[in-house]
Amino acid sequence: MSVFQLFDLTGKVALVTGGGRGLGKQIAEALAEAGCHMAICSRKLENCQETADQLGEKGVKTLALACDVTSKDDVKAVVNKVLSQFGRIDILVNNSGATWGATVEDMPAEAWDKVMNVNVKGTFLMSQEVGKSMIQKGSGKIINIASVAGLKAEPEEVLNAIGYSTSKAAVIHFTKDLARKWAKHQVYVNSIAPGFFPTTMTKAVLDRKGKDIVSHIPLKRIGDENMLKGAALYLASSASDFVTGQTLVVDGGASL
C-alpha cells in the first residue's frame, strides 16, 4: 500500500457533529477532499446545509441534519438517517462543543450543566449510538475533539472557563476508556486537543488577549484553517491503524 493510499478515504462515510462552521467545518473539508462522503449535523441546520453544499462540489455525497447532541432522541434519529442514506458510518467526529466564561465563584450551575451536557454527554450519546453500527460491522474510527485546556490549567487571564476545561479533560479520559473497551471490535477511538484557533468560540478571548496568548506559544502563532486538517485525516484513515486511545495535541507547543 502506498503512502497516499494510507490516507485515501474514497467511499468511506463520516458523520461530523458541529460541522457547519469552525473546526468542524475544517475537518469535514479535509475528509471530503480525501474522498469521504459527509454527513454534517448541528443545532443550526442552515450552517450545515451551506457547508454540505460546498463539500458536494468536491464530488462526494453529503447530508445536512439538525441535531441537539444532548438529546438521545435527536442523536438516534440522526444516526438512523445517515445509516438509511449511506448504509454505514465509518468515521465519527465528535466536534460539537460549548463554553462559558466566568470566574469559578460566579459561574451559574446551569452554565456548568450546559457545558458538561454538550461536551461530555453529547460525545457519549453520539459515540454510543454510532458505535452500535460500528461494532456490528467490526470497524470504525471515532475522533473526539478535546482541547489543550483539558491538559493544563490556564491562568485566569488566559482562560477563565472551568466548566469547559473540566469537560475537555473528561473527553480525553473518555477517549482512553472507550478505546480500551472497543478495541476488540476494531473500533478505534482517539482525540485531538487543539490549542487556540480563530473560531466563534475563541473570538472574544483572542480579541482581548490575542497578543499575550501568542507570546506564550512557542511557535508564536495561533492555528489557521489548515492546521487541524492533517491530524484529522491521519486519525480517520488507515494511516493510524495501530493508534487508539491517544490524544494528538495541535497547539503550537503551548502545552509544553
pLDDT digits (tens, 9 = 90+) for 168-182: 999 999 999 999 999
In degrees, rounded to 5, the angle at the alpha carbon of residue 64 between the alpha carbons of residues 25 and 57 is 65
What residue has cell string 467490526?
A: 138
- The percent of residues above 70 in pLDDT, for the chain, comes to 99
Domain boundaries in the chain? Answer: 3-250
Distance (Å, whole) CA 189 – CA 191: 7
Residues across the chain? 256
Q: What is the pLDDT of residues 40-70, one digit of tens each?
A: 999 999 999 999 999 999 999 999 999 999 9
Query: Does 148 have pLDDT greater than 80?
Result: yes
pLDDT higher than threshold 80 for residue 233: yes
Burial (Cβ within 10 Å: 0-12, 13-18, ≥19) of residue 187 = buried
Looking at residue 196, its pLDDT comes to 86
Whether residue 234 lies in the annotated active site: no
CB atoms within 10 A of CB 204: 11
3-250: CATH topology:
Rossmann fold (3.40.50)
Residue 57 has what pLDDT? 95
Model-level pTM? Answer: 0.96
- 158 pLDDT band, cuts 50/70/90, is confident
Please give the Cα distance from 130 to 253 (Å, whole number): 33
Q: Which of 7, 86, 164, 182 is catalytic?
A: 164
How many whole angstroms separate alpha carbon 196 and alpha carbon 224? 9
236 pLDDT tier (thresholds 50, 70, 90): very high
Residue 87 is predicted with a pLDDT of 98
